[in-house]
Amino acid sequence: MSSVIDGSTITASNLSQRFKRADGQLVNALASVSFTIPEGQFVCLVGPSGCGKSTLLQIMSGLLAATDGTLEVGNKRVTQPAPQRGVVFQKDSVFPWLRVVDNVEYGLKCAGLAKAKRREIAEHYLERVGLSQVGRAWPRELSGGMLKRVAIATVFANGANVLMLDEPFGALDYVTRRQLQEVLLTLWGEATDSGRRRTVIFVTHDVDEALLLADRILVLRGGRLVDDLPVSAPRPRTTDSLLRADLVQAKHTLLNHLGLERSHA
Amino acid sequence: MIRGTASDVTRVGNPKSFPRLRALSAARWRRFDPLALLGVVVMVAAWHIASRFVAGSVLPSPFNVAKRIVADFWLARELAYYGLGNTGLFGSLVFTGVNVLVAVFAGSLIGIAIGLLAARSKWLGPLVQPVMMTVGTVPTLVVAPFFLIWFGVGRGSSILLVLMYSAVILYVFAQRAADNLDPVFEDYARTLGASPRRVIRDVLIPGTVPQILGGIRIALAGAWGIEAIVELLGAQQGIGKIVSVLAQSIDIEGIFAALIVLGIAAVAFDVLTATVIRRLAPWSPAAIRHKE
Amino acid sequence: MNRQLSLRGQLAASVLVLLAMAGGWQVLSLIYTAEAAPGEPLVPGWQVLFSHTFQLLADYWPGGYGVPSVAEGAPRSYTAAALAVLLHSWDTMLRLYAGFACGALGGALLGLAVSWSDWSRRLVNLPLQFLRTLPLLAMVPLFELWFGTYFAGKVLFVAYGVGVIFFAGVINAVGNVPQLYIDYARTLGASRLRLYWTVIIPAILPELRSSILLSLGTAWAAVLGAEYLGAQSGIGYMIEYASQFGYVDRMFLIALVIVVYASISYALFNRLASMWLVWTPGAHPRERSG
């Protein structure tokens, strides 16, 4: 793991987030979280409900300003959202008032690309996620899994080199989830035009999903970073990969952190 | 709803056969309900039967009313008799209709602009909200006599009154729509690189259009009545004037004719608005904030 | 990002705005001192409104209870004015609430009856849409010619306006009852009648809330419209009568009274609706998560 800070290294220093609840009480959503994520790494953020993982993602994407601490991407402070940091939200964020292909094109339209070029890129990524047949459909005609594909196609089409996904597959059934994980991994595996891999930050509460996807798992609990696990199983990972001894050990560690197991030898 | 089944997509970029998009227009056939048309027939029949049992001066029969509509359509003799010029049901309807449409249009624009701004702006919202709510509690008709004194009995008062009415309604609808718009859409747009102006243009406006159009439909429906009553209170033209004149000679048949013509116009515009809503916003309920 | 003021903040803002408008009015009255008649400024300040202008309302007291009317030559007094306002308010309120009650009950019952069978609902649909879009206020002269300008006629008019809204609202609400509740009740053994009484009726109450508030507005418009065009009593009549002489100051005072009554009626209905609907999911919206 390189420690050189290059174009897309993400550095978080002492990030804290406090907010006031409706009854006036101050809540610490995040407390002094620090980490460094080198370019091209697939990182999963894992933790129980309410541990602050979504808040952390919001800060990293620039949608929320941390009350304390700094976040830098490639040595530049992050204070605003930008197309380089694409986000796939937990809720269905695809615009209901645009057809699927117009949705995928949207970021490119904001960037001022010509219509023909936009359309070409959008249709390319729609095909990569398996939705080339429904480009003209309205979002309300699509299932939840397909809407997530649209969102994934959109952030890839928009040329993001850091991808942040906030429990994107949580509301889907098991089969669809596995399919979409595969879609994501395949797209991530391909290098961008500049020959480098994209960085992925993937928030989940599903331990198996994290072990299947990640190079590295950051564990949050009560707003604090409590563990940083490398996952070095070779790719491509299959269902059987989960049976490897090192992954089983990692799983026990994670379940321990989540409070589902006591300390295990 | 299209669903990709497990067997359909096995590999990225290699979908097997995909279920075809069900045409949206297939649903259109279900809307022509033969029983609904029968209902109209039944109502007219019931009316006719009732008119048999009651004097024609109290409840005229449908046929007589229809004949009267035709007779009075281009030239209503009663108005000429009262020295009010050569106009009939059609001309009066145009006068009334133009007032209503212009006032609703203008009032809606004002209400929408204020409503959207109030929902977005941190300081404008709390400032405008109580003003609008206060204005909204005043029954519109309370203001009518004042307008009639200040602006005379011409078009001015009725247009202004309907304008005020529409502005308040659209303010409420626009503000509520903007408030209820799920914030995830704006966040999503910003992460895709949309500037604040783009966010207003591409997220706020499309996201609130369905509810706003619904508000326009409601404002339009009430506007006809307000226009009518202002005309009844002392206009020189319009359907209200015709009804007012006919009421003095207790001409119930003529009043029926005028009211039905007005009713048909109101219904026609309501149907038109509903069609526009359906065409312009095929995505309608999806933009509402997801429940927690 | 809390863009909304708290409820208390909004109330405070409303009060401040009202005070500001009242203050602005007072300033205006000090600037614009033209008078329609000696002692009767066109823009009367609050002190004038509540003294002199109020006394002018004694003109509308027809006499009785030992207080002679101005028409009989008695001087204007606060008592007569107060009695005038009370009398006319009573008439209007009676028409309004009686009409509302009759219309709401009648419309709801009719709606429930029609919803019983799918056939009747479909049959009634188009005529109902037509009646609903027909401008109510245009029909004031018709109702007047049919039922006269007395109490019953006005109540019937208000009842018709409210009734149509409730009729349509109930039919719509019954159609929107989630099939889930109906299926659930049937699996528990409910008969059709019991289903109607114990499931459908409670299930439509939350949607009826909007019908209630909507028809309250219609009821006010109906009662005022009817009183403008042909009544011998009522606060609508007072305003219309005053407007024929151009007495804007009296009109303003009466308008204030009407607005107060209207606000009270909305607040009352809102409170009642909230009380009866306290069980509705979504009646107490949860706060946005941080």
The four Cα atoms C35, C40, C44, C45 give a dihedral, to 10 degrees, of 110
* B19 sits in which H/E element: none
The pLDDT score that the predictor gives to residue C288 is 37
What's the Rg (C-alpha) of chain A?
Answer: 19
* Cα dihedral C146, C149, C150, C151 sign: positive
Helices (H), C72-150: 78-116, 118-133, 140-147
CB B204 within 8 A of CB B139: no
What is the enclosing helix (H) or strand (E) of A200?
Answer: strand A199-204
Closest CA to A14 of A35, A41, A28: A35
Write down the CATH superfamily of domain C83-276.
MetI-like (1.10.3720.10)
For A30, the 3-state DSSP assignment is strand
Distance CA C140, CA C143 (A): 5
Q: How many domains does chain B have?
A: 1
Q: Look at residue C281 in the predicted model and tell me its pLDDT.
A: 67
Cα C37 from chain centre: 34
Which of A88, A110, A123 should be substituted to probe chain B, the one whose Cβ sees the most B Cβ atoms within 10 Å?
Answer: A110
> Is B95 inside any structural domain?
yes
* pLDDT score recorded for residue B25: 43
A residues 146-175 closer than 8 Å to B (CB): 146, 154-155, 158, 175
Angle at B217 between CA B212 and CA B220, to 5 degrees: 120
Q: Which has the closest alpha carbon to C287: A19, A141, A223, B273? A: A19
**Amino acid identity for residue C22 in this structure:** A
The answer, yes or no, to whether residue C289 has pLDDT greater than 60, is no
Structure tokens at B155: 């078009």
Cα of first residue to Cα of last residue in chain B, in angstroms, is 23
pLDDT in tens, B115-138: 998 888 878 887 788 888 878 888
- In chain A, residues with a C-beta closer than 8 Å to the C-beta of B194 are 106-107, 110
ipTM exceeding 0.90, yes/no: no
**Distance (Å) of CA A210 to CA A157, A236, B43, B239, B267:** 25, 14, 66, 72, 59
- For B44-62, b/e burial (b = at least 16 CB within 10 A) is eeeeeeebeeeeeeebbbb
Name every residue whose Cβ is closer than 8 Å to that of residue A136 and which is 6 or more positions away in sequence.
A99, A100, A101, B21
Residue A204, phi then psi, degrees to nearest 5: -155, 160
At C63, which amino acid appears? Answer: G
Whose CA is closest to B179, among B217, B137, B211? B211
A71 vs A66: CA distance, rounded Å: 9
- Spell out which residues of chain A touch residue B281, defining contact as CB-CB under 8 Å: 97
Residue C108, pLDDT > 90, answer yes
- Whether A145 sits inside 8 A of B15 (CB atoms) is no
Read off φ and ψ for residue C34, nearest 5 degrees: -60, 150
H/E stretch holding C59: none
Q: Is residue B12 part of a domain?
A: no
User: Mean pLDDT across chain C, nearest whole number?
Assistant: 83
* Whole-Å CA distances, A213 to A41, A48, A207: 11, 18, 10
The alpha-carbon gap from C73 to the nearest alpha carbon of chain B, in Å, equals 29
Question: Does the structure show a pLDDT above 50 at C240?
Answer: yes
pLDDT given for residue C2 in this prediction: 41
Of B199, B100, B243, B89, residue with least CA distance to B159: B100
Alpha-carbon distance A169 to A209, whole Å? 10
Instruction: Find which of A73, A97, A156 to mutate to test the B interface (most B CBs within 10 Å of its CB).
Output: A97
Identify all chain A residues contacting C287, using CB atoms and an 8 Å cutoff.
22
pLDDT over 70 at B11, yes or no: no
Looking at the domain assignment, is residue B225 inside a domain?
Answer: yes
| B185 falls within a domain | yes
Residue B60 in any domain: the answer is no
| Residue C146 near residue B279, CB atoms below 8 Å | no
- Tell me if chain B has a CB within 8 Å of the CB of C176: no
Which pLDDT value is given to residue C25? 82
pLDDT per residue as tens, chain A (265 positions): 444 445 678 989 889 888 888 787 888 889 889 999 999 999 999 998 878 888 999 999 988 889 999 999 988 888 889 888 999 998 888 998 889 999 999 999 988 899 999 999 999 999 999 999 999 998 888 999 999 999 999 999 998 889 999 999 988 999 999 999 999 999 998 877 777 889 999 999 899 999 999 999 999 998 899 999 999 999 889 889 889 999 999 999 999 988 888 765 4
Interface subset of C 124-153, CB within 8 angstroms of B: 124-127, 129-130, 133-142, 144-146
Adjacent-strand bridge partners of A163: A86, A200
Look at C138 and B127 and tell me if their CB atoms are within 8 Å: no
Nearest one of B83, B231, B85, B215 to B157, comparing CA atoms? B231
A29 touches chain C (CB under 8 A): yes
Q: What's the token pair of residue C132?
A: 């609903």
Tokens of B231: 């005309």
- Find out whether C137 and C228 touch, Cβ atoms under 8 Å: no
Strands A85-88 and C40-41, bridge-based pairing: unpaired
User: Which positions ≥6 away from A64 have C-beta within 8 Å?
Assistant: A17, A55, A58
pLDDT for C24-80, tens place per residue?
888 888 887 777 666 666 677 787 777 777 877 877 887 777 777 777 777 777 788
Beta carbons of C10 and B130 less than 8 Å apart: yes
Has residue C17 got a pLDDT over 90? Answer: no
| Nearest-angstrom CA–CA distance, B5 and A265 | 42
Range(s) of the domain holding residue B256? 67-281
Neighbours of A68 (CB within 10 A): 13
**What is the DSSP track for C223-247?**
HHHHHHHS-SSSHHHHHHHHHHTT-
Q: Which helix (DSSP H) or strand (DSSP E) does residue A22 occupy?
A: none
Band of residue C261 on the pLDDT scale cut at 50, 70, 90 = very high
Q: Tell me the CA distances in angstroms from A198 to A159, C90, C196, one per residue in order.
A: 10, 76, 59
Instruction: Say whether pLDDT at C22 is over 60.
Output: yes
- What is the band of B169 on the pLDDT scale with cuts at 50, 70, 90? very high
Q: How far apart are CA C290 and CA C288, in angstroms?
A: 6
Which residues on A lie below 8 Å from B183 (Cβ)?
Answer: none
Amino acid at B148: L
The SS3 assignment for A25 reads coil
For chain B, say whether A140 makes contact (Cβ under 8 Å). Answer: yes
- A202 min Cα distance to partner chain C (Å): 20
B64-119 per-position pLDDT tens digit:
888 888 888 888 776 677 666 677 888 889 999 999 999 999 999 999 999 998 88
CA distance A249 to A264: 9
Residue B224, classed as helix, strand or coil, is helix
Q: Report the pLDDT value the prediction gives residue C165, as an integer from 0 to 100.
A: 93
In this structure, is residue B171 part of a structural domain? yes
Q: Which has the closest alpha carbon to B262: B152, B142, B153, B99?
A: B99
CA–CA distance, C98 with C223 (Å, rounded to integer): 11
The answer to whether A69 touches A228, Cβ cutoff 8 Å, is no
| pLDDT at residue number C6 | 64
Report the alpha-carbon distance of residue A157 to residue A154 in Å, rounded. 5
- Distances from the Cα of C212 to the Cαs of B223, C107, C205, C209, C263, in angstroms? 20, 12, 10, 5, 15
pLDDT at B164 over 90: yes
Looking at per-residue pLDDT, the higher value among C127 and B23 belongs to C127
Spatial CA neighbour of C138 closest among A65, B255, B77:
B255
pLDDT averaged over chain A?
89
Number of Cβ pairs < 8 A linking chain B and chain C: 161
A 10 A CB-CB count for C21 gives 14
Name the DSSP letter for residue B288. Answer: B
- By the CB < 8 Å criterion, does C256 face chain B? no
Q: What is the distance of C-alpha A164 from the center of its chain?
A: 3
Q: pLDDT-based confidence at B4, cuts 50/70/90?
A: very low
Is a pLDDT exceeding 50 seen at residue C207?
yes
Total number of residues shown for chain A: 265
Domain boundaries of chain C, sorted by first residue: 83-276
Per the CB < 8 A criterion, the answer to whether B139 and B81 are in contact is no
Return the closest-CA partner of residue C208 out of C112, C125, C67, C288.
C112
Please check whether residue A145 is in contact with residue A196, taking contact to mean a CB–CB distance below 8 angstroms.
Answer: no
The residue assigned the tokens 């790494």 is A41
Point out the residue among B4, B9, B192 whose CB comes nearest to the CB of A110. B192
CATH of the domain at B244: 1.10.3720.10
Check: CB of residue B236 under 8 Å from CB of residue B227: no
Angle at CA of residue B225, ends B220 and B230, nearest 5°: 120
* Sequence-separated (6 or more) residues with CB below 8 Å from residue B289: B180, B181, B182, B183
Helical axes C201-229 vs C151-176, angle rounded to 10°: 150
| Residue B30 pLDDT > 70 | no
Cβ proximity of A134 and B15 under 8 Å:
no
* H/E segment holding residue C212: helix C201-229
The answer as to whether B8 is a domain residue is no
Indicate whether B137 belongs to any domain. Answer: yes
